[in-house]
Structure 1
Amino acid sequence: MNMLKKPNLSFWQIFNMNVGFLGIQFSFGLQQTAINPVFLFLGAPEDMLPILNIAGPVTGLVVQPIIGAISDKTWSPRWGRRKPFFLIGAIIGSLCLFAFPLSPALWFAVGLLWILDVGNNMAMEPYRAFVGDKLPEKQLSLGYQMQSLFVGAGIVLANASIFLFQDWFGGDSVTDVVGTIPKWLYYSFFIGSLLSVATILWSVLKTPEIPPSDKELSEINMHKALPFLERFKMPFIEISKAVKEMPSFMWKLSVVYLFQWYALFVYWQFITPLFRTTMGYDLSEAAAQAAKMSTTYNIATIVVALMLVPLTLKYGGKKIYAASLLGTGLALLSIPYITDPIYVLIPMILFGIGWAAMMGIPYTMVSKIVPQERRGVYMGILNMMIVIPMGIETLTFGPIFKNLLGGNSINAMLFAGVFFIISAILALRLNVSKEENKVSNF
């Protein structure tokens, strides 16, 4: 493998590199907490929430691996390799966030979600590869846990804005009116629209990309010289080849992700309905309480994200990751039985530790075992492992919720908790083979 030696970066260089994740995750924070309430405000029934969220899995499955493969074969002395893609994605996401609260009908909001997800996925995948491109192996853990910190920070700001703006500007709008999105919800989307572009620009301007090696540049130029049809087919060929040659570690991780991300999608979709069931809240109050839950666990993520770096070095990523998944499962199992709006925030500390691990540790482990010149496509495939369980959930959980769980959001939350515990057990199987170690030590 022809690789350039990567210099160590300072803490603030790694910080600046990851600032763009703040805007991306503000957008994802709104998707987690505000999009489903918007659908409900526009008249969607609860059992339709899973299928209405299918945009995320489908666009992630299609966009991220393709963008990853294309960015692997891209280089511009002026714009770099990964940065053009996450800048374009941020602009698309920004426009959609601005328009979202102005949706006149449910179909319009669902359509915007599809476009928003395309933009977010276009920004997300190259960003994961960007960090791996820049950092030497010994700094990968810090780089990805710094991303985890900004994941928490972006979602905290998104969700805090929801309940703060409701408190400041809600007025009489806390009474639910089907077909109407309350005005206080507009402001969070407008702020997200601004942050999406501003934070990405910060990282783009502050962080130069490492030029490709002579061998990589030769391959890139050969790719550019191909006829258009051949270049069009190349990402699909690269993805297919990478899947066939995928390390066994990633196959094991895909099984963990099946249960982990299925459970996360259930949580995000049914935390707002849960508070309508357990606390008797109206929809506005339930949405605000869900935002407080998300704010709490993401504050915990910010606090512990960098603390996980020395812990993973001492005990190994596998053990810390499995323990965090177990803690998340226990948190979800306890939430339905806590009816106090303050005390119910306590389990979110465990959830936040788990979220910090989920957003950092798997990326660190995978980045160490995949070839440098194919990091983009493998990060895209890693995302496929996220969105496929989400897609399965959107297609299957509506009938499960309605027919097996009695249409009860309490049972939905317990279901998600059990799935997290299963994922924790499966995470204990995440061992790197001797052949994969050879790649990481090359």
Structure 2
Amino acid sequence: MVKLKKPQLNFWQIWNMNVGFLGIQYSFGLQQSAINPIFLFLGAKEETLPILNIAGPVTGLIIQPIIGAISDKTWSPKWGRRKPFFLIGAIMGSICLFAFPLSPALWFAVGLLWILDVGNNMAMEPYRAFVGDKLPDNQLSLGYQMQSLFVGAGILLANASIFLFQDWFGGGEEVSGQIPKWLYYSFFIGSFLSITTILWSVLKTPEIPPPDEELKEIERNRSLPFLEKVKKPFAEISEAVKDMPKFMWKLSAVYLFQWYALFVYWQFITPLFRSTLGYDTSEAAAQAAKMSTTYNIVTAVVALILVPLTMRFGGKKIYAISLLGTGLALLAIPNITDPVYVLFPMVLFGIGWAAMMGIPYSMVSKIVPQERRGVYMGILNMMIVIPMGIQTLTFGPIFKNLLGGNAVNAMYFAGIFFVIACILALRLNVQKEESVSDL
């Protein structure tokens, strides 16, 4: 298929296109730092945290590739191709965030997490493809690192709100089975941001109409019988996996260790501080939020700085070094017992998070065909959620039986996995038939 020529966008056009990521990532920030404390407040045991978080991997595995495949075959002159999907996802997320702190029991909170993850994944996947649709190859690095900036800013706001509201409105003893009132405000703000930031991008950024050849394919798809339409996305996913570039298969090995380790960190950073700093759950949750706030400040600051670095030294080298730094940060955290000094490793973590949220998407977007960008971004997300699913199913027994139920050992485990991911990232050489500049 003939490559679509796309106009160059200015800085503020790329900025407006990515504003919606602020709301999506605020929601993910709450999932990283506030959901597991809520589960603990409602009576969950530490060893059950992995399995209680299985909603994310399962919904991501199912929702993102399907939505990607469907959006590839969608076009409306009024609504566009990707925007209807991430707008619907934002509405679902907004409703769930408002309801989450009102959860009367653990089962209710777990159920809401499933619905919230469906909404977030419905918004996330077409948003990744949306950026690739709009930008020419020479602006993809800037586009995806701009997303990293908003990833950092959204999670930063979420986590800053947690420890600030805990400081302003907290206090008093924890009551078993009850969610502290100070947590409510963070979720209510997230509910507002989820829909308003997406609306900003929807209203400010027009989509590029597909070329005539694609429009004819979309029309043929619309004329299919209902059952054929249902089968079509699954056939698209299967065919795309069969034709997937070798580069993506190598990236999947990196992602296996990277995302397994990240899920361990997010689940066990609060229990870690109950052990190393002697905090109760509220204090530990607030300290975990400070950790996340710190690394997301770094992410927001360095995200755009990585653009010229990747152009000069190559995405592979910057990505691998960033993964190594993240691993060293996780190995250091359990050995620091001062609540201020323990924030320092988050500088390395923040650089790594900026690289993880931008560089792989830029690299993949340049080597996949335009007409399949949505489904391949969904498959890329499958490479994220499969390791997370494996983690939720396996790490509970590992934590209890091999790591002695010790959150310190869990953090060491995650650090070692990041070092392995770094080594595997050094294999990310693009084949000649897939090569493009600045990979």
Tell me the residue number matched to 2:327.
329
Tell me the residue number matched to 1:314.
312
Partner secondary structure for residue 435 of structure 2: helix
Paired residues for 1:248-327 under 5 Å: 248-327=246-325
Query: Deviation per CA, 1:311-370, whole angstroms, max 9, x where unpaired?
Result: 000000000000000000000000000000000000000000000000000000000000
Query: Deviation per CA, 1:238-259, whole angstroms, max 9, x where unpaired?
Result: 0000000000000000000000
Contact 1:2 1:215 in 2 (8 A): no
Contact 1:335 1:344 in 2 (8 A): yes
Letter in 1 for 2:159: N
Query: Deviation per CA, 1:109-138, whole angstroms, max 9, x where unpaired?
Result: 000000000000000000000000000000
Q: How far is the alpha carbon of 1:85 from its aligned partner?
A: 0.1
Tell me the residue number matched to 1:142.
142
Contact 1:3 1:213 in 2 (8 A): no
Tell me the residue number matched to 1:369.
367
Tell me the residue number matched to 2:87.
87
Tell me the residue number matched to 2:110.
110
- Once residues 280 and 79 of structure 2 are traced to their aligned partners in structure 1, the CA distance between those partners, rounded to angstroms, is 49
Q: How far is the alpha carbon of 1:382 from its aligned partner?
A: 0.1
TM-score (structure 2 length as normaliser): 0.99
Letter in 2 for 1:100: F
Q: How far is the alpha carbon of 1:436 from its aligned partner?
A: 1.2
Letter in 2 for 1:256: V
Q: How far is the alpha carbon of 1:262 from its aligned partner?
A: 0.1
Letter in 2 for 1:134: K
Tell me the residue number matched to 1:25.
25
Tell me the residue number matched to 1:13.
13
Give every structure 1 segment of 4 or more consecutive aligned residues whose post-TM-superposition deviation is greater than 2 Å: none
Tell me the residue number matched to 1:227.
225
Q: How far is the alpha carbon of 1:178 from its aligned partner?
A: 1.6
- Once residues 304 and 207 of structure 2 are traced to their aligned partners in structure 1, the CA distance between those partners, rounded to angstroms, is 24
Query: Deviation per CA, 1:418-439, whole angstroms, max 9, x where unpaired?
Result: 000000000000011011127x
Letter in 2 for 1:367: S
Is residue 392 from structure 1 mapped to residue 390 from structure 2 by the alignment?
A: yes
Partner secondary structure for residue 207 of structure 2: coil
Contact 1:91 1:119 in 2 (8 A): yes
Query: Deviation per CA, 1:19-70, whole angstroms, max 9, x where unpaired?
Result: 0000000000000000000000000000000000000000000000000000
Tell me the residue number matched to 2:41.
41
Contact 1:56 1:387 in 2 (8 A): yes
Tell me the residue number matched to 1:416.
414
- Once residues 145 and 174 of structure 2 are traced to their aligned partners in structure 1, the CA distance between those partners, rounded to angstroms, is 40
Letter in 2 for 1:165: F
- CA RMSD after TM alignment: 0.9
Partner secondary structure for residue 332 of structure 1: helix
Unaligned runs of 5+ in 2: none
Partner secondary structure for residue 27 of structure 1: helix
Partner secondary structure for residue 6 of structure 1: coil
Letter in 1 for 2:252: S
- Once residues 410 and 58 of structure 1 are traced to their aligned partners in structure 2, the CA distance between those partners, rounded to angstroms, is 27
- Once residues 107 and 2 of structure 1 are traced to their aligned partners in structure 2, the CA distance between those partners, rounded to angstroms, is 51
Tell me the residue number matched to 2:124.
124
Letter in 2 for 1:252: K
Letter in 1 for 2:318: I
- Once residues 353 and 299 of structure 1 are traced to their aligned partners in structure 2, the CA distance between those partners, rounded to angstroms, is 10
Tell me the residue number matched to 2:204.
206
- Once residues 4 and 151 of structure 1 are traced to their aligned partners in structure 2, the CA distance between those partners, rounded to angstroms, is 28
Contact 1:275 1:289 in 2 (8 A): yes
- Once residues 178 and 242 of structure 1 are traced to their aligned partners in structure 2, the CA distance between those partners, rounded to angstroms, is 49
Letter in 2 for 1:120: N
Tell me the residue number matched to 1:53.
53
- Once residues 188 and 231 of structure 2 are traced to their aligned partners in structure 1, the CA distance between those partners, rounded to angstroms, is 38
- Once residues 404 and 4 of structure 1 are traced to their aligned partners in structure 2, the CA distance between those partners, rounded to angstroms, is 53
Q: How far is the alpha carbon of 1:171 from its aligned partner?
A: 3.2
Partner secondary structure for residue 238 of structure 1: helix
- Once residues 310 and 261 of structure 2 are traced to their aligned partners in structure 1, the CA distance between those partners, rounded to angstroms, is 24
Q: How far is the alpha carbon of 1:177 from its aligned partner?
A: 1.8
- Once residues 76 and 4 of structure 1 are traced to their aligned partners in structure 2, the CA distance between those partners, rounded to angstroms, is 18
Is residue 160 from structure 1 mapped to residue 165 from structure 2 by the alignment?
A: no
- Once residues 177 and 374 of structure 1 are traced to their aligned partners in structure 2, the CA distance between those partners, rounded to angstroms, is 51
Give identity over the alignment, percent. 84
- Once residues 177 and 49 of structure 1 are traced to their aligned partners in structure 2, the CA distance between those partners, rounded to angstroms, is 20
Contact 1:156 1:299 in 2 (8 A): yes
- Once residues 433 and 2 of structure 2 are traced to their aligned partners in structure 1, the CA distance between those partners, rounded to angstroms, is 18
Partner secondary structure for residue 359 of structure 1: helix
- Once residues 209 and 411 of structure 2 are traced to their aligned partners in structure 1, the CA distance between those partners, rounded to angstroms, is 47
- Once residues 253 and 131 of structure 1 are traced to their aligned partners in structure 2, the CA distance between those partners, rounded to angstroms, is 20
Partner secondary structure for residue 178 of structure 1: coil
Q: How far is the alpha carbon of 1:2 from its aligned partner?
A: 2.4
- Once residues 436 and 63 of structure 1 are traced to their aligned partners in structure 2, the CA distance between those partners, rounded to angstroms, is 28
TM-score (structure 1 length as normaliser): 0.98
- Once residues 231 and 110 of structure 2 are traced to their aligned partners in structure 1, the CA distance between those partners, rounded to angstroms, is 30
Q: How far is the alpha carbon of 1:158 from its aligned partner?
A: 0.1
Letter in 2 for 1:337: N
Letter in 1 for 2:265: Y
- Once residues 178 and 398 of structure 1 are traced to their aligned partners in structure 2, the CA distance between those partners, rounded to angstroms, is 23
Letter in 1 for 2:386: I
Contact 1:297 1:351 in 2 (8 A): yes
Tell me the residue number matched to 2:63.
63
Is residue 218 from structure 1 mapped to residue 216 from structure 2 by the alignment?
A: yes
Unaligned runs of 5+ in 1: none
Q: How far is the alpha carbon of 1:3 from its aligned partner?
A: 3.0
